[in-house]
Amino acid sequence: MEFKEKFIEKILLLIAFSSISILALIAFFIFGEGLPLIWKIGPKAFLFGERWVPSQGSFGILPMIVGSFWVTFGALLLGIPLGLACAIFLCEWTPPWAGMILRSAIQVLAGIPSVIYGFWGLVVLVPLVRNYLGGPGLSILSGSLILSIMILPTIISISEDSLKALPPSYKAGALALGATHWETIWRVLVPAARSGIVASIILGMGRALGETMAMIMILGNAVKMPSSFLDSARTLTTNIGIEMGYATGDHRQALFATGVILFLIIMFLNALAIVLSRRRVG
């Protein structure tokens, strides 16, 4: 009996440990494939090079880094106010039955595959942008619009959780002092929940940076430094997704190296979100 108990515990420990070693595996394999190339051409040339022409052996990913951040920035510009307003509305003004329906719908929104978002963006959004704003339509603007919808569930659910976790005395106190409902929300509740809200934004940012399929379909995938929101662009993720199918040799390693950069950015954002959501408001 004693032996069986110990045995089961050890097996479970082994499984738990192997599940987390995925992170180590990811690091091992993508760093192992990608780092040699980064050293070969130099980190500076790789990160700040503006030319990506694999056939001539020039691998500079600055256009992709800039593209990724433009698209993500655009998505946040729309997604943050929309998501925050939605979270506040759900938390403060919605009766329980409606909240249940809305929350389920948000979950559905989160579960829609990105190819479907991409398809919708391609057949609905891209022609709209092309006809009314000009340019190729396959643009950062279209990509940002789609991404802002895709990150909404992340921002809404985590912000709402952190608003809900506040002690009820905050709200009661503010109202008792004569603050209006709006003042209570904006001056007391939102600032008190800000660490969770910021964490939700950072996680949404990570989600936007990591999105691949929808961006392949909508962004146009041109490798150049974007100069306006109507330009077509390529992100770190789409660079890997488009070219990995046929890449060999240095080219393949360069794509793994692109993955290394993406991985590091995401790890940094995750760490930031963890630190922020740990911090408690006094």
Contacts of 43 (CB under 8 A, 6+ apart): none
Distances (CA, A) of 38 to 52, 66, 83, 187: 14, 18, 38, 48
Minimum separation from the CB atom of position 177 to another protein (A):
14
Tokens of 150: 């895709």
Which of 11, 133, 225, 281 is the binder for another protein (CB under 8 A)? Answer: 11
| Residue 135 backbone dihedrals phi, psi, to 5 degrees | 80, -175
Site string for another protein, 242-281 (x = CB under 8 A): --xx---------xx--x--xx--xx-xxx-xx-------
32 interacts with another protein by CB under 8 A = yes
Total residues found in the chain within this entry: 282
Please identify, using beta-carbon distances, which residue of 44 and 124 lies nearer to another protein: 124
Yes or no: say if 218 and 75 are a contact pair by the CB < 8 Å rule: no
Please identify, using beta-carbon distances, which residue of 180 and 228 lies nearer to another protein: 180
89 interacts with another protein by CB under 8 A = yes
Tokens of 224: 């150049």
Minimum separation from the CB atom of position 56 to another protein (A):
24
Which of 142, 157, 237, 253 is the binder for another protein (CB under 8 A)? Answer: 237
Chain residues 181-200 in contact with another protein, contact rule CB under 8 A? 181-183, 185
176 interacts with another protein by CB under 8 A = no
| Residue 52 backbone dihedrals phi, psi, to 5 degrees | -120, 90
